Copies of this chain bind each other. A is one copy, B any other.
Amino acid sequence: MWQLYQFPLCPFSRKVRLLMSEKGIGYELQRENPWDGRDEFFHLNPAGRTPVLADHGKGVVLIDSRAICEYFEETVDKNPMINGSAASRAEIRRLVALFDENFFGDVTAPLLHERMKKRLVYRASPDSRMLREAMKLAHEHLDYIDYLIDNRPWLAGAQMSLADLAAAAQISVVDYLGGIDWSGHEQSKGWYALFKSRPSFRPLLAERMDVIQPPSHYADPNA
């Protein structure tokens, strides 16, 4: 059985969980707070980051969310998520990088720092200027999702792909932390509402961090 080392608000672990669930691959959760810096975890992953996926019985350890997703895309046929021509696959991977790197750096990372790490680790108050800037950038990213959904059924084209999972994973973390204002983003909201009702997404939306609670609309597929 796969053991997924993760914490509830890690967007990259969420992406892997969505992919595994869509592909019907079972796994158990192992809570790992990277800020604890556990020696055993650094022994497993010298980069010290979640997610790490291990099958200790088989001696397999997979590290880095994109490497993990590519691995399951290559080894499990069900529900392909990096599909189509080489150009289509490049478009899926472009958007995965856009959400993993730009959206994460602009929005998710500052929100996690201000509203999670400062509370749990540093016992400090969030910086309201940083929060405002991150939420402004969230609007720009949602504008881009609105534009994509105006032109395509799913973010990368005609079918749901890893691009959608990567985007939904980031957005769900930011939404949990109260960083998404959906007003004026009807296309993004409609696309995201489809996700909220998927069986792969329900377990993620039901999880809670200690101390930090999400806004009331967070897990409601009709809100």
Contact = CB atoms under 8 A, between A and B. Distances in A.
Contact of A90 (B46, B47, B62, B93): B62
A74 interface: yes
A62 B92 CA distance: 11
B93 A66 contact: yes
Instruction: Describe A's contact surface by its main secondary structure.
Output: helix
Nearest to A63: B94
A80 to B, nearest CB: 14
A209 to B, nearest CB: 24
Contact of A67 (B71, B75, B93, B144): B93
A90 B89 CA distance: 18
Interface of A: 46-47, 60, 62-64, 66-68, 70-71, 74-75, 86-87, 89-90, 93-94, 96-98, 101-102, 144
